[in-house]
Amino acid sequence: MDDVKIGEILLPGDEETQDRREKQVRAKFWPKLKRVAASIPFSRDLVAAYYCAMDPRTPTRVRGILFAALAYFILPLDFLPDVFAVVGFTDDMAVIAAALRMIQGHIADRHYDAADKALAQDPDASTNPA
């Protein structure tokens, strides 16, 4: 994936777009993560990004970028299908990494603490530990 494509994916969008993405992420993030967490090396960053996006203290533009990245992660159609184990998540990883670079400094320790707690929970527990 080139930077132009990732840049287009990560556009924060208008308020309506952000609302739509937030609803998608709230509905589909935890079920998808539960299915693939063992296959991806960036679970902690991904979950911290989720908590940062859901945090009302996070600036709107930052939330928009994160919702765009998280929505890309949960979409069933990817540049590389996720069924190819680790290789299938390289595009997701590139999008998440680019988003994290763009919003550097906004993911706080509290987001990583929440991510660590969520990832440490029993995988058969609630699909949304928040």
pLDDT tens for 36-70 read: 877 788 899 999 999 999 999 999 999 999 999 99
Average pLDDT over all residues of the chain: 82
pLDDT, residue 82, reads 45
Instruction: Give the pLDDT confidence of 99-129 residue by residue, as tens digits.
Output: 999 998 999 999 999 999 999 985 544 445 5
Query: Is 127 domain-assigned?
Result: no
Which residues touch 98 (CB under 8 Å, ≥6 apart)? 3, 6, 7, 10, 69
Query: Is 128 domain-assigned?
Result: no
Question: Quick one: DSSP state of residue 105?
Answer: T
pLDDT, residue 121, reads 86
Left, alpha or beta for 23 (phi > 0: left; psi -120 to 50: alpha)? Answer: alpha
Instruction: Give the pLDDT confidence of 16-27 residue by residue, as tens digits.
Output: 999 999 999 999
pLDDT, residue 38, reads 78
pLDDT, residue 12, reads 82
Query: Is 113 domain-assigned?
Result: yes
Percent of the chain scored above 90 by pLDDT?
Answer: 48
Helix, strand, coil shares of the chain, percent, nearest 5, are: 70, 0, 30
Query: Is 109 domain-assigned?
Result: yes
pTM: 0.78
pLDDT, residue 84, reads 46
Query: Is 49 domain-assigned?
Result: yes
pLDDT, residue 93, reads 82
| E strand map for the chain | none
Domain count of the chain?
1
pLDDT, residue 37, reads 79
Domain that holds residue 22: 3-120
